[in-house]
Amino acid sequence: MNHDYCLAIRSLSKGAPYTDVDQPPWYGWEPQPLSEPTIAHRFLSICIKHADRIGMEDGRGSVSYRWLHCQASRLAQHLENHSDFEVGTHVGLCLPNSPEYVAAFFGIQLAGGVAVPIPHYQQGNRIQQQIEMTGLKLLIEEAKPQADKSMRDTLLVRLNATTVPPSCLQVRPMGRLAMLLFTSGSSGDPKAVMLSHQNILSNTQSITQVLPLAPTDRTLANMPFAHALGNSVMQSHILNGAGLIFSSDLLFPTALLNALETKQCTSLVAVPEVFDFLLRALGTDSLKSSSLRYMAVAGGRMDPGRAVQLANQISPAEFFVMYGQTEATARLACLPSQQIEQQSDTIGMPIPGVEFSIRNGHGASVDDGQVGTLFARGRNIMLGYWNDPEASHAVLRNGWLNTGDRAAKNPMGNYQICGRENGLVKIQGYRFHPNEVDAILVKLMPDIQLATVAYTDQGQTRLALFAHHPGNGQIDPAELRKICHRHLVRHMVPQLFQVLKNWPLNTAQKIDRAELTQRACQISLARPYNRSA
């Protein structure tokens, strides 16, 4: 199979290499190189053990772990020889899901760098913001046919089907930090979550203890690897010698169902919206798949009734409900398939290696059945937010992570989420603040006042965009919708649009967002749900 593919390692100006000693002491950094196993150690052992096993497959064909080993090592050697690289250097990774993405990620680990996945589908200004936030010195991206002036300091790396074993298997000394993964804070601004080698290895091990994941598994990689859940799926499968299947047109439910069967996939891990698609496509039919062993939902709340429905329709395959956060290397709790029928309104129990604590406003533990703030502790909890000790200290205390979720523990020992403590929403697995939508659109339409609110529709979180022209000018809802689809990433596009003559105001003479949220709920109840509306 021809897997000829060219990557570009682009030098960026004003990069700042990572150093342990620059961090506040409460982060618990080790100034000397790690002596314990790293992602690189685990990756090499898996590649050697499963050298001839098919590791990934896409429209071009399949590649083995031997291929992955060779290409990751080749990229690592290019990085080690690069004048802008040293151990601990932040290296951006701006590629779509592909075998080359996986090779590049682990190549960064073998070289002793810090991987910084950047969603390739974002707007250029958002990408530039993330580059500046994390002090990137190098960016790995797909090579352009004609490099422009901005790429004059670019090194081209050609990956192909060559499977000559690398001459050196030695892992370079490195610090604790393995990657920076972006999420959003309560203000809506993106934050770079610092994940260590042990964070990722620990969470991967815990996931394999609650999901029936085996080296023979083949999962459909439908979530972007730059996303917390997508990254978790990549890590849990590659670091266990399992297979990743890449397929196009997965936005269509019939195509996804077809890929599950034709690719002989044994599992699917996805956000609630994906399973909502599947249920619409299945109707009342059972899923007919000879290979499927299990499915798992994460990255957001799934309606309990629909979770039970899906569990029944995919039986005898198992269905798991999982809960987590980027700050916890993605996954914290799991509700097993056998409890779905009776406990579908819960997230289950903490996965192995994770502890939960529910506390009141004074930090004291509350009794079972009482609602409080959910805290989590384990080796999978992040080191902190990059270059933001204040925000880190606000959510990390004595090894415990404040999840920001309100929760209660029921008599069965399972945990039920009762809502968020702030205005963050999670849609399609992405957590962000509705104000982010306004911030982007107001630059495109400075004469129009906008307000985005979140509401619940069929158990899912949706967005509604309200618009008002202070000068009594006309606003075309259809044009507003087109602008949103053109300039917003998919998960931030509102589902409801309404033009107002006047804003509802609260007692402080500010826009009454609670009233707008209520209006959005009433609109959604009054008409059938239409994703394209």
Q: Which CATH number covers residue 492?
A: 3.30.300.30
How many domains does one find in the chain? 2
- CA distances (Å), 369 to each of 22, 117, 343, 379, in order? 43, 40, 15, 27
| Range with the poorest average pLDDT among 55-64, 117-126, 492-501 | 117-126
Query: 277 φ, ψ to 5°?
Result: -60, -45
CA-based nearest residue to 361, from 369, 373, 370: 373
Separation CA 292–CA 310 (nearest Å): 13
Three-state helix/strand/coil letters over 471-485 = CCCCCCHHHHHHHHH
Q: What is the pLDDT of residues 403-442, one digit of tens each?
A: 999 899 999 999 998 877 777 788 988 878 788 888 788 8
190-196 and 218-220: which strand pairing? unpaired
pLDDT at 21: 29
What integer is the mean pLDDT of 355-369? 93
Q: Does residue 279 lie in a domain region?
A: no
| Range with the poorest average pLDDT among 289-303, 359-373, 391-405, 432-446 | 432-446
Domain containing 508: what range?
Answer: 434-526
How confident is residue 4, by pLDDT bands cut at 50, 70 and 90? Answer: low
Buried b (16+ CB within 10 A) or exposed e, 483-522: ebeeebbebbbbbbbbebeebeeeeeeebbbeebbebbbe
pLDDT at 369: 92
CB 446, CB 473: distance < 8 Å: no
What integer is the mean pLDDT of 235-255? 87
Domain boundary among 117, 152, 175: 175
Separation CA 198–CA 402 (nearest Å): 20
Separation CA 522–CA 468 (nearest Å): 19
pLDDT at 37: 84
318-323 and 294-297: which strand pairing? parallel
Beta strands in 448-499 (DSSP E): 449-457, 460-468, 496-499
Positive/negative CA dihedral, 463, 270, 127, 393: positive
Q: Which CATH number covers residue 61?
A: 3.40.50.980
Residue that is written with structure tokens 């999982």 in the block: 322
Domain boundary among 158, 175, 192: 175
Domain boundary among 175, 194, 225: 175
Q: What is the pLDDT of residues 175-184, one digit of tens each?
A: 789 999 998 5
| Range with the poorest average pLDDT among 13-27, 160-174, 449-463 | 13-27
Does the pLDDT value for residue 233 go beyond 70?
Answer: yes
- CB neighbour list of residue 115: distance below 8 Å, 6 or more residues apart: 91, 93, 105, 108, 109, 178, 179, 180
> Which alpha helices (DSSP H) does 263-301 contain, by range?
272-282
Does the pLDDT value for residue 14 go beyond 60?
Answer: no
- CB neighbour list of residue 393: distance below 8 Å, 6 or more residues apart: 26
Residue that is written with structure tokens 């968020």 in the block: 420
Q: Does residue 68 lie in a domain region?
A: yes
Q: Does residue 45 lie in a domain region?
A: yes
How confident is residue 153, by pLDDT bands cut at 50, 70 and 90? Answer: very low
Q: Does residue 233 lie in a domain region?
A: no
Separation CA 453–CA 442 (nearest Å): 15
Separation CA 46–CA 495 (nearest Å): 44
For the ranges 18-22, 323-327, 444-448, the one whose mean pLDDT is highest? 323-327
How confident is residue 107, by pLDDT bands cut at 50, 70 and 90? Answer: very high
Q: Does residue 18 lie in a domain region?
A: yes
CB 50, CB 65: distance < 8 Å: yes
Does the pLDDT value for residue 27 go beyond 70?
Answer: no
Q: Within 13 Å of residue 381, how many CA atoms lie on the same side as its CB?
A: 22
pLDDT at 440: 84
Q: Does residue 410 lie in a domain region?
A: no
CB 122, CB 227: distance < 8 Å: no
Residue that is written with structure tokens 């999670």 in the block: 426
Q: Does residue 303 lie in a domain region?
A: no
Q: Does residue 213 lie in a domain region?
A: no
